[in-house]
Amino acid sequence: MAEDALNNVVEWSVSELSAALKRTVEDAYGFVRVRGEVSGFKGASPSGHVYFRLKDEKAVLEAVVWKGVWGRMKVKPEEGLDVIVSGKLTTFAGSSKYQIVVDTLEPAGVGALMKLLEERKKKLATEGLFDESRKQLLPYLPEVIGVITSPTGAVIRDILHRLADRFPRHVLVWPVRVQGENSAAEVANAIRGFNALPEKGKIPRPDLIIVARGGGSLEDLLSFSDEAVVRAAAESMIPLISAVGHETDITLIDFAADRRAPTPTAAAEIAVPVRSELLAEISALASRQIKGWSRGMEGRRTELLAATRALPAADELLAMPRQRLDACAERLPRALRANAQLHRTQFTKAAAQLSPRLLRQRITRGKEIVTAFSDRRQRAFRVYLDRRTQRFKSAGQLLSAYSYRGVLARGFALVRDGEGRPLRAAASITSRMRLDIEFSDGRVGAVADGEGSPPQAAVKTSKRGGGSGPKGGQGSLFGS
């Protein structure tokens, strides 16, 4: 009977059983809240979905966050973070396991969130993003102020009102969401956007940036502790003031900013001086400058009067020069007459030397000297020409002695090939080779036949030379 009962049990397929288990789990646990520690978190997958595990001391639960839910999360899971998640429990038939589909995720109390922020702070501080050496000085009186905040909140009105009271400046507002989905990305993009503006572009580039938000809970201010926002603030080349929350609220952007303001209103006070106080200070400095200049001029006047009393009178200073001038005036007529007499004597001597008789004597003497030099020049030229002629003849004789034509005149001949190159051995002559033979009285052409010993060659009269062979044909070059 037991076997019959077993045979009557309904048979399930794997898929049918998996579907039945899925319905049972989802009906029993349609919505649950689970607390555990995040484990195995690796960020979003290529599809955009996020997978991790929740664990405690005794068990592990698989968790999945769909792509659409992931983008709306204010708090993102991080490895080791203690969180509370809410969602629907379901099964995954592909691996026979159950999992929770997460709808919301929050730290398990303020302590967990503070732990998350403390670990993020240590990580960024290790990279040097909070170093004082990175801080920039704020401009004393910026021309343009960029404000990153919500355009509809009370924060922007407080900042504009405070700036108008202290020192009106040109303000550019970059509207962003200050909490919730995509808030951190918008704030980071706004900081980088202000830095990317050209200095002399159509939209003026701010000289100072204020990142502002009103007060709120730690979760509400979490966007301003996002790693992307902190890095954008640290990279900003424009000086930046963080004014997030109230004086007791601390966010990580406060450590990366060049200056932290306790409130948005205080940020406006830090950004610009009080115009009336500045005008009063300028007036006071101008008054001090005028008084200092007056005291300086009075002191210089007193010093000048004292120096004037110490100086001698003008008559005393000019007495000696006047006396020397009078003495020179008395000597001047005598000196002029003596000078004129001296020049007259020199002129008379020169006139005596220019008489006609002396001129004729000088001319006659000059002609004699020229004639003597002309005779000497002709004799020297003939001697020089004779020496050059003799050297030329000697060189010609030496050239003839070294020339190969002298050898030809003694009965020898110069044999060349068809291209005019000299042949120095019989072995270099081949059969039917054209030869050019030069004698002392001319040249003849020949063709080597290469037969017998010694070699025979036919000789014919060259058009270039004056020699002649046997009449009516070619003679033998090497025969008798």
> Is 86 inside a domain boundary?
yes
- Calculate ∠ Cα 152-158-159, nearest 5°: 100
Q: Which residues contact 28 (CB under 8 A, 6 or more apart)?
A: 89
Tell whether 352 is covered by a domain: yes
**179/62 same-domain check:** no
Question: Domain count of the chain?
Answer: 4
Among candidate residues 466, 427, 462, the one with its CA nearest the CA of residue 447: 462
Please tell me whether residue 194 adopts helix, strand or coil conformation: helix
Q: What's the pLDDT tens digit per position in 13-65?
A: 888 888 888 888 878 887 888 888 888 888 888 888 999 989 888 888 889 99
Q: Are residues 457 and 387 in the same domain?
A: no
pLDDT of residue 464: 44
Q: Say yes or no: 167 and 98 in one domain.
A: no
Query: What distance, in Å, lies between the first and last C-alpha atoms of the chain?
Result: 150
425 lies in the same domain as 387: no
Q: Which residues of 370-404 are buried (b: 16+ CB within 10 A; e: fewer)?
A: eeeeeeeeeeeeeeeeeeeeeeeeeeeeeeeeeee
b/e map of 219-241 (b: 16 or more CB within 10 Å)?
Answer: ebbbbbbbeebbbbbbebebbbb
Q: Is residue 83 part of a domain?
A: yes
Indicate if 151 and 240 belong to the same structural domain: yes
Task: Supply the CATH number for residue 27's domain.
Answer: 2.40.50.140
Q: Is residue 11 part of a domain?
A: no
Is 424 found in the same domain as 374? no
Say if CB 106 and CB 219 are below 8 A apart. Answer: yes
Please tell me whether residue 92 adopts helix, strand or coil conformation.
strand
Instruction: Determine the pLDDT at residue 365.
Output: 87
CATH number at residue 167: 3.40.50.261
pLDDT of residue 475: 43
Task: Give pLDDT tens digits for 173-224.
Answer: 999 998 876 888 999 999 999 999 998 889 999 999 999 998 887 777 888 9
Asked if pLDDT for residue 470 goes beyond 50, the answer is no
For the packed helices 154-166 and 264-271, what is the interaxial angle rounded to 10 degrees? 30
Kindly tell me if the per-residue pLDDT of 453 is higher than 70.
Answer: no
| From 135-144, 364-373, 378-387, 466-475, the region with the lowest mean pLDDT | 466-475
Query: Does residue 365 lie within any of the structural domains?
Result: yes
Q: Is residue 89 within 8 Å of residue 61, measured between CB atoms?
A: no
Domain that holds residue 49: 17-108
Residue 6, domain member (yes or no): no
Are residues 265 and 146 located together in one domain of the fold?
yes
Residues 185 and 231 in one domain: yes
- Within a domain: residue 132? no
Same domain membership, residue 424 and residue 389: no
Question: Is the same domain home to 388 and 424?
Answer: no
Tell me 142's DSSP state. Answer: -
31 and 152 in a single domain? The answer is: no
Q: Are residues 158 and 256 in the same domain?
A: yes
pLDDT at 314 over 80: no
- Whether this prediction's pTM lies above 0.75 is answered by no
Q: Within a domain: residue 367?
A: yes
Q: Is the pLDDT of residue 264 over 90?
A: yes
